[in-house]
Structure 1
Amino acid sequence: MTLAAFEDEVFKGTVTEIGDAEIDSNTNKTMYSVTVTVQNTDNVLYQDMTAEVTFVTDEVSEVLYIPVRAVTQENGADYVKVREEDGAIVKKKVTTGFTDGINTEIREGLSEGETVLTESKVKS
């Protein structure tokens, strides 16, 4: 959690209450009021301060990961394109794991150091 008043500090807390869902009729977005309890050992935080909160729902460490856009799906299986040492491009089946929406964990099918290709769209 970060606060505008303390830009360089990150505070850790625990969600202690999640309110009822409210739907904004203008945007059709569902919103929840969330109470986060934070250790305030230096007495620098005050009730009702506004904060930007990142919720960590899962966490992995020491994993091989690649960009999400490098993974393609065919018939329910995940694949990546890899450039071999001789320059050939091959499609490899992989087993994916945790993703944060930007990167995806690769559990099987690739080794560290392999060159994975991503496709990009270029507009003329």
Structure 2
Amino acid sequence: MRQMSFSEVSTSGSVPGLGAYPAGDAEAIRATAAALRRVAGTLGAVPQPSIGGWRSPAASRIRAQLTGAAAAAHRHAGEVRAGADALERAADTLEADQRQWRLAKWRMELAEQ
């Protein structure tokens, strides 16, 4: 009888002590993290707008609004990066859980042979 390899383990069924195969796509999660990193890069690169030459109370209000918006974009860039980092960690954890589950099922199936 041919011995099955670790990569041939079916992900259907349940493994005693581990339950069902951990659902999810680690690469899709990493792709989302990469997209968030691009967004964070864009937010972090927002330049401080300049409306030089305009002097009035309205100009002062607009300058303050633009300064606040640029500062918020930079601040939120860090938050978006942190979200991307969390997604990367989640993808790594999912991948490790899936690998552990397949290994446990493979060992169980080998023992049954």
TM-score of the pair, normalised by structure 2: 0.19
* Structure ranking higher in helix proportion: 2
* Structure ranking higher in strand proportion: 1
Relative contact order, higher structure (CA 8 A, sep 6+): 2
TM-score of the pair, normalised by structure 1: 0.18
